[in-house]
Chains A and B, each alone.
Chain A
Amino acid sequence: MSDEKHSGRTAGIVVTHGKLAEELVRTAELIVGTQEDLYAVAASDLCDEDIIGRVREIVRARADTNVIVFVDYFGGSCCINSVRAVEHEEGIKIISGVNLPVLLAFATKRGTMPFEEMVDHIIRRGRESVKVVDL
């Protein structure tokens, strides 16, 4: 299911309720610069079929690379729709609980390490990012 694909840098798709996905991507780009192959699917005006369709469309267009689908939270409709969208695809991971540090880690590390290792790194960074600020 998570084969390493060598053709290019891993693509990212952010799928969230409301317009969060668009703002997360936009904000990440303010910090690390414009990102190629980092897509936002904001569910706000989309029905379930549209969300599944969009994710599938992007995944198939990037069939030559690995893809990470970043969803807002585990078990929500964005998560479930994403699972449905990638059901028969290879080389894809879905990561829940997307936040800005997660996207920044993705942007800075993609293309520098093997896929599985990068996924572990991103999750670690995401988790570490939530802490009491005690300077």
Chain B
Amino acid sequence: MIVLFRVDDRLIHGQVILGWGSVLRPDRIILADDEVASNEWEKNLYAASVVPEIKVSILPLLEAAAQLKRGIFDTERVILLVRHPKDVVALMDLGLPVGEVNIGGLHFREGRQKLLDNVYIDGEERNIMRELVKRGVILDGRAVPGSRAVKLNSRVV
């Protein structure tokens, strides 16, 4: 059961493991990212940063969608993590039902405009998030559980 579906360009790090992890108490973190999944060094880097109490799966998007749809993780509390809003669209196109996404970290980069301290987006990203809104997805902008709750839907249309 997915207890958190999060977009964060820092992937696995303290806010995910400790910030959300200590409140949601997940059994597993699934990092769905083609780039990391295809690189042993990167996989080890991110896997090593997870506390021993939480299991880690680092999978390409296609495989993550397939495994989730097969119900393999239905009895586990899972944090599903992707790098970018377009990965949310990709997973939905692969048949994953999505109701709410935590836009937890899209960090400052040239060309991005600030929405929140932890969310900066450019034009293309705004369009992708608009598409998610059109598909009925709620976009929650909290960095960590205790952050002020901000629904981003009206901020991207």
Interface residues of A (CB under 8 A from B): 17, 47-49, 73-77, 79-80, 83
Q: Is the CB of B17 within 8 A of A75?
A: yes
Q: Which of B17, B48, B49, B109 has the most CB of A within 10 A?
A: B49
- The reply on B69 being an interface residue by CB < 8 A is no
Interface residues of B (CB under 8 A from A): 9-10, 12-14, 17, 45-46, 48-50, 107-109
Tell me the nearest residue of chain A to B105, going by C-beta: A77
Q: Is the CB of B48 within 8 A of A77?
A: no
- Using A49-B109, A75-B48 as known contacts, list a sample of 14 further A-B pairs with CB atoms less than 8 Å apart, ordered by residue number in A: A47-B107, A47-B108, A48-B10, A73-B14, A75-B12, A75-B17, A75-B49, A75-B50, A76-B13, A77-B14, A79-B49, A80-B10, A80-B45, A83-B45
The distance from the CB of A96 to the nearest CB of chain B, in whole angstroms, is 10
A-B interface contact total, Cβ < 8 Å: 30
Q: Is the CB of B109 within 8 A of A76?
A: no
The answer, among B14, B48, B50, B109, for a CB contact under 8 Å with A47, is B109
Alpha-carbon distance A73/B13, docked complex (angstroms): 10
The distance from the CB of B133 to the nearest CB of chain A, in whole angstroms, is 26
The distance from the CB of A21 to the nearest CB of chain B, in whole angstroms, is 16
The distance from the CB of B46 to the nearest CB of chain A, in whole angstroms, is 8
A-B contact pairs, 18 of them (CB 8 A): A17-B14, A47-B107, A47-B109, A48-B9, A74-B49, A75-B14, A75-B17, A75-B48, A75-B49, A75-B50, A76-B49, A77-B13, A79-B49, A80-B10, A80-B13, A80-B46, A80-B49, A83-B45
Alpha-carbon distance A73/B49, docked complex (angstroms): 10
The distance from the CB of A43 to the nearest CB of chain B, in whole angstroms, is 10
Alpha-carbon distance A17/B10, docked complex (angstroms): 13
Q: Is the CB of B10 within 8 A of A77?
A: yes
Contacts of B17 in A (CB 8 A): 75
Contacts of A17 in B (CB 8 A): 14
The distance from the CB of B128 to the nearest CB of chain A, in whole angstroms, is 20
Contacts of A74 in B (CB 8 A): 49
Alpha-carbon distance A79/B48, docked complex (angstroms): 11
Alpha-carbon distance A17/B17, docked complex (angstroms): 16
Contacts of A49 in B (CB 8 A): 109
Q: Which 8 A-B pairs have the closest CB atoms?
A: A75-B49, A76-B14, A77-B13, A77-B10, A47-B108, A76-B13, A47-B107, A47-B109
Contacts of A76 in B (CB 8 A): 13-14, 49
